[in-house]
């Protein structure tokens, strides 16, 4: 198994792709203008507390206030919340812990999405190459993606020795697998030094203000994506390639030797098939072997995945044919979730299977594929309706949200009014406007291209009592129209004074 990390740096974007055995497995991009907020630490000001939501809105100095729920209020600054959690009691009301005007240290855990502001927490975490520091906590942990019991025990023992029974808390990241005690200790020292500087800044900084920003996008990608099994790191920008080598020499020297320049002239992502994979990921249909396919539909509430046999006919046993299709779907879906970065609630409608053992096989195949996911995935059993529900932790926008924006014609609905309906609405609007005008008055109806074609076929809406001017405009959406009363012409004005 080999992985290749691609970093494509352009004027507007930094794009990162991870290949697994030559196939695109994950993708992310960061816009240089208005970069990602996740991980940033702010000294904010509570703008209001909403008891009904048990949440507070915090002014961060951004366009939208951050959202802080009571379950995310933790740390030494809130001892009553800690006591309640320790005893299993109900959390005290948030309004007893916070009030408007309070200065508060918060960290962004989810970027703004749609109309929602950034999601916040009060217990910050600071990541480095090998470790995550958790100020205010005392426990140690090891990444779930490190599966070997002996290695997990070794890392936990090193962290406990470094911590000496006192905080702050530490978590060994996936790339810490195999790291020496000295390397872990050096990483911890860097994090403690950073936290000490942040504590000092918190006492003197104005509020609201940003106290800490993550590494630049490309270096953050190296920190988070360049695991020991990455055999090549290809970067299209010479200056960034040099910076990447310097960074990796300081935190993980063996990886520094794997940094390669990209000579071109073909685009880096095009050459490795990432652009083609991105184009395919824009489509709702995902082909499966033998003619079957998935249909992936994202909504604000959840993502629905429908499994279809399509042209797949299989063998003579219908049950085995359905099983084969569902197994292929269960194998493909985890890759679809990772590459499209689908999070939240996901509902999968597999093709109905009568045999319980077939359902068990499909569920096991799905669980096996999701086991290597870097995000937390929880899978429910088959429902009585044959649906499988799963949740996948979402920490950044989906691929569609990163690559696209709502259609200006349909406002993101995915459909637009039928021309016949638009024509009927135009006729009604003309009739209402004509009723308020004097006989012989002029009325201008400006229409889009599709509506103009519909009216040409059916005849324009011309009430006998007014003079209707019909005009086609390329500036309007195809099914839209606008009504106006044209200004009097110079000849009309002269006639009025004659």
pLDDT value at position 264?
75
pLDDT value at position 312?
61
Encode the chain (498 residues) as per-residue pLDDT tens digits.
688 999 998 878 889 999 988 899 889 888 776 567 888 999 999 999 999 999 999 999 988 999 999 999 998 889 999 899 989 899 999 999 999 999 999 999 988 877 788 999 999 999 998 999 999 888 899 988 787 899 999 999 999 999 887 779 999 998 888 888 998 999 999 999 999 999 998 888 999 999 998 888 888 888 888 888 899 999 998 988 999 999 888 888 888 999 999 987 789 999 999 999 999 998 999 999 888 999 999 988 899 999 998 876 655 667 788 899 999 999 999 999 999 989 899 999 999 988 899 999 999 999 999 987 777 899 999 998 889 999 998 767 788 888 887 777 776 677 777 777 788 888 888 888 888 888 888 888 888 887 888 777 776 666 667 787 888 887 777 777 888 877 665 555 444 444
Look at the alpha carbons of 326, 331, 337, 340 in this order and tell me if their dihedral is positive or negative.
negative
Cβ pair 117, 55 in contact under 8 A: no
Closest CA to 397 of 346, 348, 344: 344
pLDDT value at position 493?
47
pLDDT value at position 470?
81
Cβ pair 141, 171 in contact under 8 A: yes
pLDDT value at position 358?
94
Label the pairing between strands 140-142 and 169-172: parallel
pLDDT value at position 474?
76
The token pair at 353 is 């299977």
Label the pairing between strands 387-392 and 344-349: antiparallel
Cβ pair 350, 385 in contact under 8 A: no
Cβ pair 462, 444 in contact under 8 A: no
Write down the pTM of the prediction.
0.70
pLDDT value at position 235?
94
Q: Which residues of 91-118 are buried (b: 16+ CB within 10 A; e: fewer)?
A: beebeebbeeeeebbbbbbbbbeeeebb
Cβ pair 407, 394 in contact under 8 A: no
Q: Return the number of other C-beta atoms located less than 10 Å from residue 494's C-beta.
A: 10
pLDDT value at position 381?
94
Q: What are the strands of the beta sheet with 387-392, ordered from one edge?
A: 285-287, 293-298, 303-308, 344-349, 387-392, 377-379
pLDDT value at position 423?
81
pLDDT value at position 497?
46
């Amino acid at each position: 198994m080999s992985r290749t990390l691609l970093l494509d740096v352009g004027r507007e974007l930094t794009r990162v792709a991870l290949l697994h055995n030559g196939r695109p497995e994950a993708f992310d991009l960061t816009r240089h203008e208005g970069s990602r907020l996740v991980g940033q630490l702010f000294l904010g000001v509570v703008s209001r507390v909403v008891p009904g939501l048990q949440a507070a809105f915090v002014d961060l100095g951004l366009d939208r206030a951050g959202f802080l729920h009571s379950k995310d209020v933790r740390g030494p600054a809130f001892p009553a919340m800690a006591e309640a959690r320790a005893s299993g009691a109900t959390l005290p009301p948030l309004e007893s812990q916070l009030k408007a005007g309070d200065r508060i240290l918060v960290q962004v855990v989810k970027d703004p999405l749609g109309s929602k502001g950034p999601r916040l927490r009060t217990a910050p975490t600071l990541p480095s190459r090998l470790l995550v520091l958790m100020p205010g906590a005392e426990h140690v942990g090891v990444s779930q993606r490190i599966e070997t019991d002996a290695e997990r025990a070794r890392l936990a023992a090193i962290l406990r020795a470094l911590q000496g029974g006192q905080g702050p808390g530490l978590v060994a990241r996936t790339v810490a697998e195999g790291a020496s005690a000295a390397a872990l200790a050096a990483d911890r020292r860097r994090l403690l030094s950073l936290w000490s500087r942040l504590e000092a800044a918190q006492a003197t900084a104005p509020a609201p203000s940003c106290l800490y920003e993550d590494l630049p996008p490309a270096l953050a990608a190296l920190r988070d994506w360049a695991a020991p099994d990455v055999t090549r790191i290809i970067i299209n920008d010479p200056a960034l390639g040099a910076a990447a080598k310097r960074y990796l020499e300081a935190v993980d020297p063996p990886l520094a030797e794997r940094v390669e320049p990209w000579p071109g002239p073909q685009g880096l992502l095009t050459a490795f098939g990432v652009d083609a994979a991105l184009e395919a990921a824009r489509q709702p249909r995902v082909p499966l072997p033998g003619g079957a396919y998935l249909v992936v539909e994202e909504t604000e509430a959840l993502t629905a995945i429908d499994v279809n046999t399509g042209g797949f006919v299989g063998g003579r046993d219908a049950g085995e044919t359905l099983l084969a299709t569902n197994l292929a779907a269960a194998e493909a879906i985890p890759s679809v979730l990772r590459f499209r970065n689908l999070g939240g609630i996901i509902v999968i409608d597999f093709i109905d299977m009568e045999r319980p053992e077939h359902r068990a096989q499909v569920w096991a195949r799905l669980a096996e594929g999701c086991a290597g996911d870097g995000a937390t995935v929880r899978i429910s059993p088959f429902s009585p309706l044959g649906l499988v529900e799963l949740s996948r932790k979402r920490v950044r926008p989906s691929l569609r949200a990163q690559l696209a924006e709502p259609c200006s014609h349909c406002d993101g609905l995915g459909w637009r009014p039928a021309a016949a309906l638009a024509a009927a609405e135009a006729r009604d609007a003309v009739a209402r406007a004509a009723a308020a005008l004097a006989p012989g008055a002029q009325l201008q109806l400006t229409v889009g291209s599709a509506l103009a074609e519909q009216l040409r076929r059916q005849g324009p809406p011309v009430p006998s009592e007014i003079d209707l001017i019909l005009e086609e405009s390329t500036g309007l959406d195809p099914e839209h129209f606008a009504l106006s009363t044209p200004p009097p012409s110079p000849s009309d004005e002269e006639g009025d004074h004659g």
